[in-house]
Amino acid sequence: MAFASPVKQMIFALKNMANFSEIENSNVWPDINTDFVESLLLEASKLADSTIAPLNHIGDKVGSKLEGADVITPPGFKDAYIKFIESSWGTISGSPEYGGQGLPRTLAVMTQELWNSANMSFSLCPMLTQGSIEAISQHGTDTQKKKYLPKLLTGEWSGTMNLTEPQAGSDVGSLNTSAIKNNDNTYGIKGTKIYITFGEQDMSENIIHLVLARIEGSPKGNKGISLFIVPKFLEDDSSGEIKRNDLKCIGLEKKLGIHASPTCVMSFGEKDRAVGYLLGQENNGLACMFTMMNNARLNVGMQGVGISERALQQSILYSKERKQGKHYKNENPESVEIINHPDVSKMLLKMKTLTEASRAICYDNAISIDLSESHPDKSVREKFKLKADLLTPISKSWSTDVGVEVASLGIQIHGGMGFVEETGVAQFFRDSRIAPIYEGTNGIQAIDLVMRKLLISDGEGLKNFMSEFYNTLSMCIKENNKDFQLISKNFSDAFDSVKISTEKLSQRIKSNENYSALFVASDYLNLLGITAGAHYLIKGALSLKDHENRDFFESKKDMAIFFSTQILPNTVGLSKSICSEIFELETKRIDNILGGF
């Protein structure tokens, strides 16, 4: 089924649900408004809808292939990537000093959503490149910036992150990849990395690998890690001679989904050692790495949004075409479209509201990052830095969990036809499942939220966000409307649940009851995600109360009613789970529980 970029829904989320007015009023980008953003997205949608989206199915079916030392991407991918480069989509938020357009990162995040929805496998290449751009921009020397950023921004060169090793998953401090310093201030890199997305491919002219390694003699563990720029092709600055670096892809992972995206096993130093250039300071690689990963976490959250939108669109179309069963209101023997069945309509509404809520969370996260970096007022920058830090683990985790749930519901709506590959809806589910694992699993994000983000500046970030919740609740209560009164009642209960749970968790952390806090960290993140989702949906409905298009207003209000009555009540149960007295499960007791199988 054809895909159509949801530009109108995206603009509504930006303008009426997220806080885009903060960017418009900042005077940092005086020419940026929603009309400009809409024009940009409409242009991007042409590439997404007509060129990238049609490659999604064939990419899944054919996959990328390893032929010798080369990886061949599916038919059409290389040509689509050339069009992507020619259209300069990678330059949107880049520094003008290196060929970027200097626009808000929010706009880059929104276009990334379009690539995600159109073809998640394809989108991973430019997404990883953005992480490399961010790391080199913040930690590179002037020479490194001038050498790498212009072509990374255009996409002529792509970027990768080489963190994981066979014996060291998220525990990067256990890596074995080594580096030795050469006489010319380069470094020799030797080791094996796994799960390297687009580590080898035939789309870009060069691949700039960012590789974590330990310089010989450095301390063990996290404190002895450094980050290196290791290009696929090396260019002699004086002669211009180009030669291949001593690195290669030695295998492609066989995966559940995203088959068109080559996930490579990379070997550095096949013959001797690969040439690398230190990025940042020696033994400071983790700080550089987190620059990449923080950039990537929001983009991965947008993968959840993108895959949700794609599954939603296909499910709506299918439910309007597929006829089965009688209408629940009468005994007419004629079959009706399945969208008329209450259970199907409820699933569709759940898919719709979860998609729109997660989109708004991610957009507001992007806006907060922009303002934390670029607002002229230091106090405003600090305020939005706290908000961005708080929202990043929620955007990444909650939105990717939503992506999996929405894709799964899409299969359910298709029935038996969803479980077979013919309709393509199964691909969305398979593709979606990697996102909760990418860039620090969702469990790690929950730990980050509870053990770090709640404590920063005495919890000021959460207090500020809770104030936004309270303002939305107050506006809702003031409405002399039974629908908004129903919404406000449920939102008030969720608000109280967040307050109670936060107090309980804070007490545990201050008392060093870390096991109990960590045991319910994922529940707490889910609690905040659901409550934030309701907050943004209610904001959207309230923004339209005087709108001349009553049908449009009613649709947004009905979405808020559905979410507040069918999804938001889960917060009460989550709060009870969080606040219950939790006994510590020592290894022996866990073995007793799980034993006997």
**CA–CA distance, 219 with 366 (Å, rounded to integer):** 36
- Strands 233-235 and 242-244 turn out to be antiparallel
Tell me the HSE value of 481 on the side-chain side, using a 13 A CA sphere: 15
Active site residue 513: no
- What is the H or E stretch that residue 375 is in? none
Residue type, 65: K
CA dist 328 and 336 (Å) reads: 10
Contact assessment for residue 26 and residue 371, using Cβ atoms and an 8 Å cutoff: yes
| 241 Cβ contact list (under 8 Å, min separation 6) | 235
Give dist(CA 13, CA 289) in Å, integer.
31
Whole-number Å distance between alpha carbons of 215 and 179: 4
Q: Three-state DSSP class for 262?
A: coil
From the CA atom positions of the chain, what is the Rg in Å? 25
Strand partners, 227: 212, 279
Cβ atoms 62, 75 nearer than 8 A: yes
Structure tokens at 96: 């003008």
Distance CA(571)–CA(344), nearest Å, equals: 24
Long-range CB contact pairs, 178-186, < 8 A, 24+: 178/213, 178/214, 178/215, 178/216, 179/213, 179/214, 179/215, 179/216, 179/226, 179/228, 179/276, 180/215, 180/216, 180/273, 181/215, 182/275, 186/275, 186/276, 186/277
230 near 274, Cβ under 8 Å?
yes
Strand partners, 161: 210
Sign of CA dihedral 388, 390, 393, 399: negative
Contact 432, 500 (CB under 8 A): no
401: left (phi over 0), alpha (psi -120 to 50) or beta: alpha
Catalytic residue among 134, 165, 356, 439: 439
Q: Are strands 247-252 and 274-279 parallel, antiparallel or unpaired?
A: unpaired
Please give the positions annotated as active site.
439
